[in-house]
Amino acid sequence: MGYDPGLKKLITRVEASRPARVAAVKRGEHFRSLTLEERDELLKAFHPDFRADAKRELRVGLNKGAVYPNELVDLLESRSRLDVAAVDLERVDYDVDLLIVGGGGAGCSAALAASDAGVEDILIATKLRLGDANTMMAEGGIQAADKENDSPVIHYLDVVGGGRFANRPDVVEALVQDAPLVIAWLEKLGVMFDKTADGTMRTLHGGGTSRKRMHSCGDITGAEIMRTLRDEVECRPSIKILEFAPAVEIIKDQEGKAAGAVLYDLDREQYVVVRAKCTVISTGGFGRLHLMGFPTTNHYGATADGLAMAYHAGCELVFLESSQFHPTGAIYPEQIVGLLITEKIRGAGAQFLNVEGEQFVYPLETRDVASSALIRECAPSEKGGRGKGVITPSGRVGIWLDSPMIDILRGPGTVRSDFPGKFRMYDNHGIDISREPMLIYPTLHYQNGGVTINADASSQDVEGLYFAGEVAGGIHGQNRLMGNSLLDVCVFGRRAGASAAAKIPTVELGALSLEHVRKWDEEVARAGLESERSAPILFPDYRGKVM
Ligand code: MEZ
């Protein structure tokens, strides 16, 4: 298929400006990055977080009064999908020490840490298959300050600067301190990181990083990490795995401690009661809610189930007013709209260009700033934009990402060797990204906020409950930097598993209860919010929708 003649003609403008851009990079000259004031102004004018018309006030629960995107409020204001009367808590199907809900990077890390700490009875319950998770979809890398010119303190400052200075300090400290340990742990388990001939880890810059600390495995870093964690989990006799069994509500005991969860067995179409001394929720994020109609990079199961269950259980949420739109989602061809084009491509030298073939933003601005600049470049002038986007045959508007710069700057064959996943994806559609640029536009990528946790991954509000991975909030403030999510799943997954392991011997559970779920439904009804909607939704509903 490839590009049609109209787009090919526009590509000649990209090619025409390329020699001067390459020469500038070789001289060490880069497009000017924005001042803090300019960033603030740009974000307020163009970032979707600041679209007041797409948000409303939440009317129930601990965060009542917070203003979140409509799709998220719809979820959080729904009654429970569990009919409490249909569950017999006297009939326990699984009685375990540790229940882990979610089988992605965070869930597997938690299981391995708990198993290492001697917990012998661990159950991972997952909605799809083990490893069907955003961890698997992550491409460009994982950050860790493990080189001589770097330190966890510098990493800390980058994280907080990227997070619009809103991050919770204790959890950021945990993230950056554990990072070098996580890289060593993953390598020991078998992750094949990119290295130079002498065995040194190859590292690159991501947006907003002041040191090259992005460790990668080609452009399939998440898949490589997930493969390794999954293999290790599957070898451990202490870890049982239940697939196609999403959790629908957390169970508490009569004293209000977490005591397991009600699962829904998708094959048998029946509820399953799990009693557990400790429970880890690692269900991922909300990409499949398609906030504000954006396409997403996320896997099919990313429907914020953990947020809904935690909220029903009385957990506070933090920073959900902000969401991450990855600047480089594919918008052409139609079959791949919304899919991730890794930021590592820009770390390696690719630049953003408008329809005239002009640069308009520094390629390694933080994601919130880069996405806002792209949205401004594409928006028509009557909406305050510059109207300089490229229009695709189906009418989408996007920006060029000039990937051929990479081979010119780093040597022929680099795109093919360092970005095998993207090279192949585009090659399947007749586009050689080492010779032709890609067309991109921001896509919904990450849930910046989530459930409030302590630095040991324990819940601030419910004893015996732990959160790890995208469902947890506070770490990334209002904008996460690239490579800190693969890191976060491992850091807080391991911390959750270790913390639960330390707690388990002390836990005495009382009678199981779903009283909090009954009360939740009452609150929703009292607020006059009863509707057809119930949560968690478990799967996105695409009937009648074009994304
Ligand atoms: O951390 C991420 O979101 C990531 C590594 C994405 C990417 O651009 O590759």
User: What's the confidence (pLDDT) of residue 103?
Assistant: 98
> Exposed, middle or buried by CB within 10 Å (0-12, 13-18, 19+), for 354?
buried
- Give pLDDT tens digits for 304-325: 999 999 999 999 999 999 999 9
3-state SS class at 513:
strand
Instruction: Name the band, by pLDDT with cuts 50, 70 and 90, for residue 61.
Output: very high
Coil, strand or helix at 440: strand
Atom of ligand 1 nearest to the CA of 139: 9
Q: State yes or no: pLDDT of 428 exceeds 90.
A: yes
DSSP string, 376-424: HHHS-GGGTS---PEEPTTS-EEEEE-THHHHHHH-TTHHHHH-HHHHH
pLDDT one-digit tens code per residue, 36-53: 999 999 999 999 999 999
* 344 CA → ligand 1 middle, Å: 8
Query: Does the active-site annotation cover 27?
Result: no
Q: What is the DSSP string of 448-467?
A: --EEEB-TTSBBSSSTTEEE
* pLDDT confidence of residue 403: 98
Among this protein's residues, is 56 annotated catalytic?
A: no
Q: Which residues contact 36 (CB under 8 A, 6 or more apart)?
A: none
Atom 7 in ligand 1: which residue has the minimum CA distance?
A: 342
Closest atom of ligand 1 to CA, residue 446: 3
Q: Which tokens belong to 427? A: 């090659």
Q: Which of 343, 368, 481 to mutate to test the pocket of ligand 1 (most atoms within 8 A of CB)?
A: 343
**Cα 219 to middle of ligand 1, angstroms:** 9
DSSP secondary structure string for all residues of 127-174: SSSTT-SHHHH--S-EE---STT--HHHHHHHHHHHTTT-S-HHHHHH
Distance separating alpha carbons of residues 310 and 187, to the nearest angstrom: 33
- Domains, in order of start, for the chain: 5-50+324-444 (3.90.700.10), 79-322+448-517 (3.50.50.60)
- In this predicted structure, what is the pLDDT of residue 530? 80
Whether pLDDT at 547 is above 80: no
| pLDDT number for residue 543 | 87
- What b/e string do you get for 286-311 counting C-beta neighbours within 10 Å, with b at 16 or more? bbbbbbbebbbbbbebbbbbbbbbbb
191 neighbors 503 (Cβ within 8 angstroms):
no
Distance from Cα 392 to the centre of ligand 1, integer Å: 25
Q: What is the pLDDT at residue 539?
A: 97
Taking the C-alpha atoms of residue 527 and residue 538, their distance in angstroms, rounded to an integer, is 24
Evaluate if pTM is beyond 0.85. Answer: yes
Mutate to test the pocket of ligand 1, among 224, 482, 484 (most ligand atoms within 8 A of CB): 482
Q: Residue 352 has what pLDDT?
A: 98
Q: What is the C-alpha to C-alpha distance for residues 243 and 94, in angstroms, rounded to an integer?
A: 14
Spatial CA neighbour of 307 closest among 289, 292, 333: 289
Instruction: Please report which confidence band the pLDDT of residue 99 belongs to, taking 50, 70 and 90 as the band edges.
Output: very high
CB atoms inside a 10 Å sphere around CB 341: 31
Q: What is the pLDDT of residue 1?
A: 85
pLDDT band per the 50, 70, 90 thresholds, residue 5: very high
Is pLDDT of 531 > 90? no
The rounded Å distance from CA 171 to ligand 1 centre is 20
Residue 493 has pLDDT above 80, yes or no: yes
Structural tokens at position 493: 């997954």
136, 209, 479, 485: which to mutate for ligand 1, most atoms within 8 A of CB? 485
* Residue 204 near residue 212, CB atoms below 8 Å: yes
Closest C-alpha to 222, from 525, 515, 488: 488
Ligand 1 center–CA 483 separation, angstroms? 5
List the catalytic residue out of 230, 290, 326, 476.
Answer: 326
The rounded percent of the chain whose pLDDT value lies above 90 is 98
Residue with CA nearest ligand 1 atom 2: 482
Ligand 1 center to 314 CA (angstroms): 31
Q: Reply yes or no on whether the pLDDT at 427 is more than 90.
A: yes
Q: How confident is the model at residue 110 (pLDDT cuts 50, 70, 90)?
A: very high
What number does the ligand 1 atom closest to the CA of 328 have?
A: 8
The secondary structure of residue 20, as a DSSP letter, is H
Q: Which of 79, 155, 213, 346 is catalytic?
A: 346
User: Which atom, in ligand 1's list, is nearest to the CA of 140?
Assistant: 9
Where does ligand 1 bind, in terms of residues with CB under 6 Å? 138-141, 342-344, 482-483, 485
Q: Look over the chain and give the mean of its residue pLDDT values, rounded to a whole number.
A: 97
